[in-house]
Chain A
């Protein structure tokens, strides 16, 4: 007694005995003090197009210095990076890359942005926070791709240094989050509201999985919530599912389902809705007023960009996003 600690980073709120590790696998109670096991130890380091995150309304055609450590706050059965997200730090091959070196390398390789991604950045909060602080000083942008399963206080603190966030809204039912992800929906919605409130540029990704979260009624409800609470300018990415991890038995999402979801989202009032993980016209950004193609993409490659000073080059409509 007396050496128990409670982690207050994510809504799971693990209570840990001495030398016990949290559900995220990367935070340990040692003698009544909670430590991070992954500070400065990324297991994935890469330079990606910003479109891969995906960010379609944030510095298009630039590169992002992307890092991740082992661990995750959820246990999604469809995880595409489960080899690292569901691993303990000691089970991965990691680098020794302290925050200042992350920023130094990002600048050396000409990356405008550092992205905390691949696994769940909440689990390496301290590493991300320190790196983001240094990056801000050197005018390097900070973005994260997160599941949004984080408590309000740490998220507000992080938002001071965060320029953009792509949040995985995995479904719009508590049942899905409980059965498939091992979490809850409500905290994710709360996180989205906090990010909106803090003025962080927001994009949302929804992985559409056949039979699990592809009901158009649910998608409609989700889109209505987004429009009502976050506004119609939030880009929404419907992403194609491929069999992975524990959901190997399900087929890849048919294109027709993704197309229908996009139509539902646009009918609900969202202006920028994309389809990802499959090549189509729905990768392009179109002007919501004159309908001309503003950014033409082929996968992660930007073929043409007709946005000038944040406006449509054809009709001067303001296009939501961070463009320079």
Chain B
């Protein structure tokens, strides 16, 4: 049996980057949430805010650690599996990755220690500053990575000379046409992820009748932010859609599931299709009449362009793009609906007592992560067959590495990452089961996993180790 090295290289990168993106999404969202919680504690001195901070700090730290480790792998993969991409695009991508390290990693590395271990070693305001700096670091990191990735989607500010990219305008490289839209889209996605995460855990406590004060506060804050952010996301998402239609029409043609150059009028909005790429048609399609015209052309009878407008050798695989988009958009609609329901229940004073709603929140706890993954599948599979849009094909970017090497490293990645994920889930669920009162007042470096989650007995001169709230 023989494997295609190009396919294996792509599967390996898809697997490692899909795994990685889960953790930055969580840590960007949680870092901002933690900064808000500590800020509210500083302002009000309500011990419940500090309890919420302490509880989520542990989960944030674990997610942050896994995110950093799995992110480093990606840089190596550029060189190992996609060396030709590195050779060609290095002059543009390399400095941006370097700047990510210089600005965000240094900032995070400098303040993360204070954030995790400095509760009783620095004053409350300096500790709050450290939390804000870590949150800022996660934002800057996302900004540079989005800049690099957006440049691959909509390259600008370069010329290609002797098979290599030569930068002619750095501002155009960094602020490329899609970056101003994709960055807020990703950041809002991360903040929504954090909001649903904290609201979901709070709802779980309310359903079990445990840690009521903690549950009510986190459900309330999580849903308030989620509701405002989902509105912003719908708005930004539509702007980004228009921008990508302008720059990458093939991606958006595939995302909507239409093949013909012009769809019928009025166009339906497809929810489910069975695409047949070979024959350039759908074997089956299920949609809502008129909705395609209304949403995509903002008119009652507008027509939508199909994938046949793009030559076959430049078409992405419709199935991946379509379902990546539907996963993201479908979950966004459900989130929007839940947020509307939360407003209604809050208006009636039943937000914390309506069991179906609390159960829905628990089910939706990981929805932000799944939607973000869907969005990245849309972005990355929709760019194919290009790795740098209209500049370098993915097939031409792969290193001349034997398939056996790629297969063995892929298996190794799957095994190690399965270990990471298992450890992350076990520790997270254990912390959630133990509840906020069991969260350590300060993480203690014991060198032993056994003691990792045991509450530490520390001096508390600043009054940040409150008595149980309930």
Whether chains A and B associate is: no
Binding site for A on B (CB under 8 A): none
